[in-house]
């Protein structure tokens, strides 16, 4: 929920992005998603040097799953922080982030892994048919890709936009080569939890626009 003042600032921001972006390669469903990432980062590199890559089925699959109340599994609490909470409330989506659970910490220490990595395999039941959104940890994204390749899980959509210096770009390249599952990712090191939340918020906007058209 936004106030009129908040909405007018958002509208003016989106208009500034439209005015400054020039030509871009995105179609009419992709562009609102990319535009919302630029809105949340003030970084036009997400349409260019660090551009967003969409699997051909990504948006439709994500819209269908979210509309049907699928779970949203995230790697860090920052992704939850950036979500418009009215959407999961209205559509009945459970939001899961296990990184802070003591069992995950224990297991990660034992296995010599990161907490976010271990938290993915622990969420397997929710990931099946759900939306995975990785905004921070390449290790978590690589784990989900590995789980898909093992054939043990098939999410409706993987949003993989981790940020960082170690394996971030590489994990996203691996995701962009995944054929089994729809994905939204980007090129290079940049990304982050705000960008991952922006993608989810934007897909919910597309769902609501569809509803208005029906």
Q: Cβ neighbours of residue 31 under 8 Å, at least 6 residues apart?
A: 24
Kindly state the smallest distance separating residue 26's Cβ from a copy of itself, in Å.
19
Which of 34, 52, 79, 184 contacts a copy of itself by CB under 8 A?
A: 79
Q: Determine, following the binding rule CB under 8 A, whether residue 4 of this chain makes contact with a copy of itself.
A: yes
In whole angstroms, how large is the CA radius of gyration of the chain? Answer: 17
Torsional class of 191: left (φ above 0), alpha (ψ -120 to 50), beta (otherwise): left
Using DSSP's 3-state secondary structure scheme, residue 183 falls into strand
Q: Determine, following the binding rule CB under 8 A, whether residue 189 of this chain makes contact with a copy of itself.
A: yes
Catalytic, out of 24, 39, 55, 211:
39
Q: Determine, following the binding rule CB under 8 A, whether residue 6 of this chain makes contact with a copy of itself.
A: yes
Using DSSP's 3-state secondary structure scheme, residue 92 falls into coil
Per-residue contact flags (x/-) with a copy of itself for residues 140 to 179, judged by CB under 8 A: -----------------------xxxxxx-----------
Q: How far apart are CA 122 and CA 152, in angstroms?
A: 12
Which of 56, 112, 150, 179 contacts a copy of itself by CB under 8 A?
A: 112
Q: How far apart are CA 66 and CA 64, in angstroms?
A: 6
> Which window, 22-30, 57-65, 146-154, 188-196, contacts a copy of itself (CB under 8 A)?
188-196
Task: Give the other-Cβ count within 10 Å of 209's Cβ.
Answer: 11
Q: Determine, following the binding rule CB under 8 A, whether residue 12 of this chain makes contact with a copy of itself.
A: yes
> Which window, 60-68, 77-85, 146-154, 202-210, contacts a copy of itself (CB under 8 A)?
77-85
24 assigned to active site:
no
Per-residue tokens: 210: 């569809």
For residues 181 and 61, the answer to whether their CB atoms sit within 8 Å is no
Q: Determine, following the binding rule CB under 8 A, whether residue 190 of this chain makes contact with a copy of itself.
A: yes
Complete edge-to-edge strand list for the sheet that includes strand 72-74: 52-54, 183-186, 157-160, 131-134, 72-74, 95-96
Q: Which is nearer to a copy of itself, 1 or 213 (CB)?
A: 1
> Among all residues, which ones are annotated catalytic?
39
Write out the residues near a copy of itself by the rule CB under 8 A. 1-6, 9, 12-13, 16-17, 39-43, 76-82, 85, 100, 105, 108-109, 112-115, 117, 139, 163-168, 188-194, 197
């Amino acid at each position: 929920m936004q106030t009129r003042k908040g909405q007018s600032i958002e509208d003016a921001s989106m208009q500034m992005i439209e005015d400054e972006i020039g030509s871009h390669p995105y179609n009419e469903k992709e562009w609102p998603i990319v535009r919302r990432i630029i809105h949340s980062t003030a970084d036009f590199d997400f349409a260019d040097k660090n551009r967003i890559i969409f699997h051909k089925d990504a948006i439709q699959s994500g819209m269908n799953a979210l509309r049907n109340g699928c779970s949203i599994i995230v790697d860090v609490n920052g992704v939850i922080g950036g979500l418009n909470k009215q959407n999961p409330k209205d559509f009945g989506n459970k939001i899961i982030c296990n990184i802070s659970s003591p069992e995950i910490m224990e297991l990660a220490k034992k296995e010599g892994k990161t907490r976010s990595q271990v938290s993915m395999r622990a969420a397997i039941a929710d990931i099946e048919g759900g939306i995975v959104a990785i905004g921070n940890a390449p290790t978590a994204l690589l784990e989900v890709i590995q789980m898909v390749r093992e054939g043990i899980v098939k999410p409706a959509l993987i949003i993989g936009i981790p940020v960082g210096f170690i394996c971030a770009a590489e994990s996203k390249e691996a995701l962009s080569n995944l054929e089994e599952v729809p994905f939204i990712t980007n090129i290079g090191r940049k990304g982050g939890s705000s960008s991952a939340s922006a993608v989810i918020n934007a897909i919910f906007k597309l769902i609501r626009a569809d509803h208005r058209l029906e």
